[in-house]
Amino acid sequence: MLNMKLKERLALAISAFLVLFTLMLIVDIQMDYGNFANKVPLPLHARVHSGDLEDKGRSAYIEFRKRFLQKSNGSNGSREYEQSAPGETSGGGTDAEPRTPAPPTDRYEDLQKIILSQLQGKAEDHTVVIPPHRDLNILRPENPTIGEMEDLEPSINASNLERFQLKIAQHELYEDGEPLVDEILKDMATNSILHVEQKEGGTQLKLIIDYPNGVQALFKPMRFARDVQTLPNHFYFSDYERHNAEIAAFHLDRILGFRRAMPVVGRVLNMTTEIYDVTEGDILKTFFVSPANNFCFHGKCSYYCDTGHAICGNPDMLEGSFAAFLPSSDIAERKVWRHPWRRSYHKRRKAPWELQSDYCDTVRTTPPYDSGRRMLDLMDMSIYDFLSGNMDRHHYETFKMFGNETFTLHLDQGRAFGKAFHDELSILAPLLQCCLVRHTTLSLLLKFHNGVPLSKVLRESLKLDPVNPILWEPHLVALDRRVLIILDAIRNCVNKAESPLQNEVNDFV
Ligand SMILES: Nc1ncnc2c1ncn2[C@@H]1O[C@H](COP(=O)(O)OP(=O)(O)OP(=O)(O)O)[C@@H](O)[C@H]1O
Ligand SMILES: [Mn+2]
């Protein structure tokens, strides 16, 4: 009898547990749906889309965005999600935990196949993936250096930077593995600072740092902690510049094999002895001690150069980024180009690329984009900027002496790495609208996706910087997510190129 009761009780307990467990599962699933429903059709998103509707079917990037959002409804999870907390900082708590990406289920074998066949000398006329033998950056029939062009040789006691500058070549700033890069980084991080002055022009405060032997660096000060995000109501053009973005962007450019960004390093300065004591002029009048007893200054510029936006030490130690100076214009003049996919820099106006469906065709048929490497460089730049979230690419520069067949410099990455939880697809517009990518760039992205993730490679590289950690972990996590988005975009282009009709039908499904 007692035995029976015990058995009954046990059976009862098990069934109660099972019922509870099932209930919990249902609640859990519902919460998931709830979350998702909250995430996608938010009013915030809707506002973005209201503009998009006018352009329905006109902009390739909007098409991609639509398809992309649809796709993220499935097993891949939501890949574009807005910052949930609109605060200035996202806080250090659970947000800072690295979100381990799911193991890749899709290895992009279709894209790998293209890479492989091009390496075997096939698929050479591919319209989307440009093979090495049609890429001037790989062919490099000539690759003279500034020193060779100007008939200049470094003197015996020339600085590392001067040697570096004379070695800048037609197709890249420095060679893969160039030892002078590390030397320059070390020099800028450790050499004594002789003189400091504010850089004229530009929108935000920057200092020109003079070291012994004529070496110079461009200094951008630290304003915020690493986890402070772009203010949600700030446009890209009123975003603050971040010194750590400059450091991270240099490493990223090098990892991606572009080598189009000047070396940048982090360093902590004593504001009294390494800035105040070695500068003169108007900037001195902007130094003050804040109520928190920190030493501050604001300099003079057209944005954020006032007491309310001062740069403050802790209490008088200030971190910043030091970018190696480009050769002076006496040696190597630069040409400034308007970026064809420049944003409007107006809070209501749109740029031409946002309005014209055939915008890329117009660019592609206009010199210098109609031949050579320039168009491919813009595609690389779009990928580089999308990965780092840099929306501020209004102009770009090249070295005049090399003509049009030269690389585009990656200058001014101060507004990158501002939103770790948002992937700004419009930065990919050049790639989405032109459907063009270098074989070498695609090959590298596939390598990151299927092998050691980009986040890991960048994290390791940044460890070499004196003020590491350089990036807040969610920014690194974002990189792997964005690699996937770029690969999706390229796949989309390839599919469209291979069966344009079928895809046109799909567009409207
Ligand atoms: N490493 C460098 N060496 C020498 N000059 C540089 C270097 N980097 C940038 N410059 C020059 O300084 C100018 C301003 O730099 P940067 O673009 O970083 O500042 P900015 O204040 O963000 O300018 P803007 O607000 O116009 O974008 C650039 O146009 C470029 O010509
Ligand atoms: Mn800028």
- Arithmetic mean of pLDDT, 162-167: 98
Residue/partner pairs of 58-62 with CB below 8 Å, 24 or more apart: 58/355, 58/356, 58/357, 59/353, 59/354, 59/357, 59/429, 59/433, 60/357, 60/360, 60/429, 60/432, 60/433, 60/435, 61/425, 61/426, 61/428, 61/429, 61/432, 61/433
Which residues have C-beta atoms less than 6 Å from ligand 1?
202-204, 206, 218, 241, 262, 323, 325-326, 411-412, 414
pLDDT confidence band for 381 (50 / 70 / 90): very high
Report which of residues 283 and 101 the model is more confident about. 283
pLDDT confidence band for 21 (50 / 70 / 90): low
Ligand 1 nearest atom to the CA of residue 246, by list position = 18
CA of 41 to the centre of ligand 1 (A): 39
Annotation marks residue 392 as catalytic: yes
Q: Is 325 annotated as a binding residue?
A: yes
pLDDT digits over 291-340, tens only?
A: 999 999 999 988 889 999 999 999 999 999 999 999 999 999 999 999 99
- Arithmetic mean of pLDDT, 203-210: 95
Q: Is the pLDDT of residue 36 over 70?
A: no
Q: Is 387 annotated as a binding residue?
A: no
* Shortest-distance Cα residue to atom 17 of ligand 1: 412
ipTM of the complex: 0.96
Least confident of 32-41, 94-103, 164-173, 269-278: 32-41
- Arithmetic mean of pLDDT, 64-79: 51
Q: Is the pLDDT of residue 92 over 80?
A: no
pTM summary value: 0.84
* Shortest-distance Cα residue to atom 18 of ligand 1: 412
Report which of residues 198 and 31 the model is more confident about. 198
* Shortest-distance Cα residue to atom 27 of ligand 1: 202
Instruction: Please tell me the number of the ligand nearest to residue 339's CA.
Output: 1
Res 7: pLDDT = 72
Res 104: pLDDT = 57
Ligand 1 nearest atom to the CA of residue 262, by list position = 1
Other Cβ atoms closer than 10 A to 109: 10
pLDDT confidence band for 98 (50 / 70 / 90): low
Q: Is the pLDDT of residue 12 over 50?
A: yes
CA of 390 to the centre of ligand 2 (A): 10
Sign of CA dihedral 364, 366, 368, 372: positive
* Shortest-distance Cα residue to atom 2 of ligand 1: 325
CA 330/CA 1 separation, integer angstroms: 104
Q: Is 123 annotated as a binding residue?
A: no
pLDDT digits over 103-121, tens only?
A: 658 999 999 999 999 999 9
* Shortest-distance Cα residue to atom 8 of ligand 1: 411
CA of 172 to the centre of ligand 1 (A): 19
Report which of residues 15 and 214 the model is more confident about. 214
Please return the burial class of 432, using the count of CB atoms within 10 Å of its CB with bins 0-12, 13-18 and 19+: buried
Res 71: pLDDT = 55
pLDDT digits over 389-441, tens only?
A: 999 999 999 999 999 999 999 999 999 999 999 999 999 999 999 999 999 99
Q: What is the chain's mean pLDDT, rounded? A: 86
Single out the catalytic residue among 95, 392, 423, 480.
392
Asked if 168 and 332 touch (Cβ cutoff 8 Å), the reply is yes
pLDDT confidence band for 70 (50 / 70 / 90): low
CA of 49 to the centre of ligand 1 (A): 34
Res 64: pLDDT = 73
CA of 414 to the centre of ligand 1 (A): 9
Pair of tokens at residue 127: 């319209």
Res 314: pLDDT = 97
Q: Is 189 annotated as a binding residue?
A: no
Ligand 1 nearest atom to the CA of residue 397, by list position = 31
Buried b (16+ CB within 10 A) or exposed e, 483-492: bbbbbbbbbb
Asked if 415 and 245 touch (Cβ cutoff 8 Å), the reply is yes
Q: Is 323 annotated as a binding residue?
A: yes
